[in-house]
Amino acid sequence: MMVNALLAATKLVAGLAGNSYALVADAVESTTDILASLVVWGGLSVASREPDESHPFGYGKAEPLAASVVALFVLGAAVAIGIAALREIRTPHHAPAPWTLAVLVAVIVVKATLSRRVQGVGRDIGSSAVQADAAHHLSDAITSAAAFVGISVALWGGPGWESADDWAALFAAGVIAFNGVSLLRRPLNDLMDAMPDPSVVERVRTAAEGVAGVLHTEKLAIRRTGLVYRVTIHVQAEPSMTLHEAHVLSGKVKSAIRAALPEVQSVLVHMEPFEDDTEGRMNVRT
């Protein structure tokens, strides 16, 4: 947030003094980055709280909710930049100052580095909110790169090419809008309890079926809640098992799943008597 605040101030002053609307648009983008980081911080803080009586399933949904808000910030910034760029294109003005290119180079390097570091953290902890924040930083770098191209064209083309700077801002707005829509997909899936990546499902199923005494599994449902997963699985075992033996087996299944996938916070195992319906299952698979 400190880096974004410094960049926003630098780009705003440079944009106004250097007659570059693309830099001013960049400053707006950096300002939304600050707000986005605050939202991510708050979302992760809430999501990390332990379940209680009022929220027995925990507060994990705060994390994808924060990611959705960040994505909306990105879309809002894109719309604002696009509208202002169109207005500037229609308004005659002077070409940007050449020294603004040096400012943009510094901004691109800083934002690309920041995006890469934040993306690494988001990937390591499995946070869609942090990854959305990283994408927001990347969109800022893209805006700056587009501004660099636009200002270069305006300076190289001379009189009559002054609006190249504004066209660059409009192009950047389109790229940012595309990123915003892309960012919404994962958090919306999490909020709607969509099944996770097939590789996650396969790891859970393999872990459960690898427990001695488990004869078959079915009706596997997994949902992501913030940084953790919640699993519901039906396990078939020997019909002659006592209730106590079935309870012990279910505990082993839970332990196996959580060992295979530490991100799993809770596992609900429904025990069922095994019915040898191999032919029927083969037909279903076929």
Evaluate whether 147 touches 18 at the Cβ level (below 8 Å).
no
CA atoms within 13 A on the CB side of 26: 39
pLDDT digits (tens, 9 = 90+) for 183-226: 788 888 888 888 888 888 999 999 999 999 999 998 899 998 87
Evaluate whether 138 touches 115 at the Cβ level (below 8 Å).
yes
Closest to 119 measured CA to CA, from 141, 104, 100: 141
The residue-averaged pLDDT of 36-65 equals 85
Asked if the model's pLDDT at residue 22 lies above 70, the reply is: no
Q: Domain residue spans in the chain?
A: 2-191, 198-285
Closest to 107 measured CA to CA, from 8, 31, 13, 180: 8
CATH code of domain 198-285: 3.30.70.1350
- Give residue 286's pLDDT band: very low, low, confident or very high (50, 70, 90): very low
Asked if the model's pLDDT at residue 237 lies above 90, the reply is: yes
Alpha helices in 49-95 (DSSP H): 62-89
For position 215, what pLDDT does the model report? Answer: 92
pTM above 0.85, yes or no: no
CA separation for the pair 106, 154 (Å, rounded): 20
Q: Which two tokens stand for residue 122?
A: 């988001």
Please state the φ and ψ torsions of residue 15, each to the nearest 5 degrees: -65, -45
pLDDT digits (tens, 9 = 90+) for 31-41: 777 887 888 88
Fold designation for 2-191 = Alpha-lytic protease prodomain-like (1.20.1510)
Asked if the model's pLDDT at residue 283 lies above 70, the reply is: no
